[in-house]
């Protein structure tokens, strides 16, 4: 049997030697195990090796079946997973042959399970050592995304294109866009943590008949001064007013007060958009120039909003950027493959046999629609990015559209058809502030900031120590909004509650920030305690306490949390981990004190808290949060 401690490259080069006192036994090389980067893998391998030898089972299969967090044990193996017959007989074979070592100190049998106890001191040493080395390597290489503890480079060479946020120009940045923005940012970060190259694309709703409406509306109600000051809000007001005109005209038309349909706002808007799409039309350049200006001003304003959320995009694309050639190509392929039918002059792709109904790809007036632009856009993006995976982060209500898109691409025979994934999410209700119904995201963030600022002011002594209280309150406010969104499973609906999400009581965003601040304060409040550079400068035996073991064990589960969050595109997995470590630190705070402890104990405890702080900060950054040091 070949032996090694890891197939992964060391996180620090050259890597300091392991203290011989904590040297691990020879471990098998198993695909998927990374004992140098994920210490708990080493202890799972130690269990797998003994079980595989006694039961004559493949060690790789046993390793996959060594579970964490089951039956109250450090590690557990379900006997029926590997052996038929009476579990107690198979358990007895393990109990008789078991040899304690520096990794595993004890094994017990409980029903159908073998329960293994980790050597706590060895485990603590390797956990602190691994996190410390990873943190040092990451600090020395700040642009790397795969050196921090919990990350991996296994996705190296793969490219993920992600389409998220996607607000409509001149319409409110509503709750669905907010959820897409927050969830998409985390999924992007998770892919980078797994070694993927990520391109963040914001596919703006910047085309369609509504822009004809906006153009007509701006001619009637637009203000250059207001447009420059706040383009999104002003264009939204214009859009609302012109739609009110349209509704009034429709009512008058139905009553017979207006007889010429071509004189209505709706008809004028359709003509403008038709002219925008048809470059052979005279006069289209005026509408296009105006549209470009609306778009550019809106993007600049959006960038300011995204900066408040600590979120960025690599590309601002949109429906308008899809090439006419690609859309026409998609229509021609659909027709050539017999996928289409006509209905009152419109062209549809017929997906009824796949229980997806029919979907329009060209309207009766010859203009395009969402599906046409997505079909053409998929081809354009493939030619530009040659992605291995393309994720769309869009609410669940759009599931049918994406099923139609993917099935049409498949039936068209596109080589990239199987590389798409729709990451859906539930609805959010109740997004209102004390001022009334929220229209814009900036309103939400502004109120969250004000609320946190008020709470910070309530403690004058601490408030005086905060260098930039305005920025700090803005960071905590955005944390509150994000964590309320991310704390539940993304597919679930939830009710937005400003009062609850900004509370320091309970599992909300401010609690995570508070926990990080607390961990940062340990070093500040104990300036006379030497800060250890490495685990070899502390006496690990002085950390032998149940509350320390709970913290260390939860730190050990962090790489699994990252992997699971990545695999299922589920940010709540990381949020749950953050809440748990925060509670464990809070529980240990009064017992595992640095202040007043004997120097060697103080050093060991300080090292524990600094190490924990590093991992919590990294988890927060995956969630697109900005960890703060004072509040």
- Give me the active site residues, please: 171, 174, 177
> H or E element: which one contains 253?
helix 231-254
Task: Give the integer Cα–Cα distance in Å for 107 and 94.
Answer: 8
Beta-carbon-side half-sphere exposure of residue 385 (alpha carbons within 13 Å): 25
- Kindly list the distances between the CA atom of residue 488 and the CA atoms of 309, 482, 570, 576, 627, in Å, as whole numbers in the listed order: 19, 11, 9, 9, 21
Round to whole Å and give the CA distance between 299 and 202: 10
- Say how far apart CA 541 and CA 533 lie, in whole Å: 18
Q: Please, what sign has the CA dihedral across residues 488, 489, 490, 492?
A: negative
Q: How long is the chain?
A: 631
Q: Cβ neighbours of residue 179 under 8 Å, at least 6 residues apart?
A: 395, 425, 428, 485, 490
Provide CB contacts within 8 A for 257, sequence distance 6+.
Answer: none
Distances (CA, A) of 339 to 245, 273, 367, 380, 485: 40, 28, 19, 21, 40
Count Cβ atoms within 10 A of the Cβ of residue 122 and give its class: 0-12 exposed, 13-18 middle, 19 or more buried.
Answer: buried
Structure tokens at 180: 């897409």
Nearest-angstrom CA–CA distance, 57 and 610: 41
The token duo for 270 is 């359709």
Q: Which of 286, 238, 628, 299 is nearest to 467 (CA)?
A: 628
Contacts of 242 (CB under 8 A, 6+ apart): 213, 214, 216, 217, 220, 221, 265
CB count, 10 Å around CB of 56?
A: 6
CA distance 593 to 607: 12
CA 505, 509, 515, 517: dihedral to nearest 10 degrees? -120
The residue among 600, 598, 603, 612 whose CA lies nearest residue 548 is 612
How would DSSP label each residue in 389-427? EEEEE--GGGHHHHHHHHHHHHHHT-TTGGGEEEE----
Cα–chain center distance at 436: 30
Q: Which residues contact 310 (CB under 8 A, 6 or more apart)?
A: 478, 624, 625, 626
Sign of CA pseudo-dihedral 248, 251, 253, 257:
negative
* Residue 174 CB neighbour total at 10 angstroms: 16
């Amino acid at each position: 049997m070949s032996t090694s401690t890891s197939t992964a490259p060391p996180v620090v080069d050259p890597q300091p030697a392991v203290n011989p006192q904590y040297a691990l036994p020879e471990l098998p090389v198993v695909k998927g195990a990374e004992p140098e980067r994920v210490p708990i893998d080493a202890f799972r391998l130690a269990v797998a090796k003994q079980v595989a030898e006694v039961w004559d089972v493949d060690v790789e299969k046993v390793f996959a079946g060594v579970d964490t967090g089951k039956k109250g044990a450090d590690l557990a193996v379900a006997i029926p997973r590997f052996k038929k017959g009476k579990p107690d007989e198979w358990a007895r074979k393990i109990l008789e042959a078991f040899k304690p070592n520096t990794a595993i100190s004890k094994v017990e049998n409980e029903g159908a399970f073998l329960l293994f106890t980790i050597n706590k001191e060895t485990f603590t040493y390797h956990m602190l050592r691994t996190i410390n080395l990873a943190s040092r390597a990451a600090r020395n290489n700040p642009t790397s995304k795969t050196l921090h503890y919990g990350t991996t480079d296994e996705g190296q060479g793969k490219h993920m294109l992600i389409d998220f946020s996607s607000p409509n120009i001149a319409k409110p940045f509503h709750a669905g866009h907010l959820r897409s923005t927050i969830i998409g940012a985390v999924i992007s970060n998770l892919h980078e943590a797994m070694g993927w190259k990520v391109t963040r694309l914001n596919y703006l709703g910047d085309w369609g008949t509504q822009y004809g409406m906006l153009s007509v509306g701006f001619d009637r109600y637009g203000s250059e001064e207001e447009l420059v000051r706040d383009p999104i809000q002003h264009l939204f007001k214009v859009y609302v007013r012109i739609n009110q005109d349209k509704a009034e005209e429709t009512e008058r038309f139905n009553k017979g007060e207006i007889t010429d349909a071509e004189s209505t706002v709706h008809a004028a808007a359709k003509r403008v958009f038709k002219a925008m799409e048809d470059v052979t039309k005279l006069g289209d350049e005026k509408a296009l120039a105006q549209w470009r200006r609306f778009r550019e001003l809106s993007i600049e304003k959006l960038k300011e909003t995204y900066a408040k959320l600590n979120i960025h995009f690599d590309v601002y694309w949109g429906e308008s950027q899809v090439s006419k050639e690609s859309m026409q190509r998609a229509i021609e392929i659909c027709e050539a493959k017999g996928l289409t039918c006509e209905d009152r002059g419109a062209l549809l792709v017929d997906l009824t046999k796949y229980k997806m109904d029919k979907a329009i790809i060209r309207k009766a007036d010859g203009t395009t629609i969402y599906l046409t632009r997505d079909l053409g856009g998929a081809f354009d993006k493939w030619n530009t990015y040659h992605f291995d995976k393309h994720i769309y982060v869009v609410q669940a209500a759009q599931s049918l559209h994406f099923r139609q898109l993917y099935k049409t691409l498949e039936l068209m025979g596109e080589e990239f058809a199987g590389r798409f994934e729709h990451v859906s999410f539930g609805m959010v209700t109740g997004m209102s502030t004390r001022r009334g119904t929220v229209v814009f995201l900036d309103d939400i963030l502004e109120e969250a900031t004000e609320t946190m600022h008020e709470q910070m002011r309530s403690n004058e002594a601490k408030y005086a120590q905060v260098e930039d209280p305005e920025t700090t309150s803005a960071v905590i406010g955005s944390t509150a909004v994000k964590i309320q969104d991310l704390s539940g499973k993304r597919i679930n609906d939830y009710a937005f509650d400003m009062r609850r999400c900004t509370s320091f009581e309970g599992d909300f965003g401010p609690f995570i920030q508070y926990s990080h601040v607390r961990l940062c304060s340990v070093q500040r409040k104990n300036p006379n305690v030497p800060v250890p550079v490495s685990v070899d400068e502390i006496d690990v035996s002085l950390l032998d306490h149940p509350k320390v073991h709970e913290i260390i064990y939860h730190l050990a589960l962090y790489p699994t949390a990252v992997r699971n969050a990545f695999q299922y595109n589920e940010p709540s997995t990381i949020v749950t981990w953050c809440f748990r470590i925060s509670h464990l630190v809070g529980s240990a705070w009064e017992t595992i004190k640095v202040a007043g402890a004997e120097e060697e104990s103080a050093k060991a405890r300080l090292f524990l808290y600094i190490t924990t702080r590093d991992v919590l900060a990294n988890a927060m950054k995956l969630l697109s949060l900005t960890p703060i040091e004072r509040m």
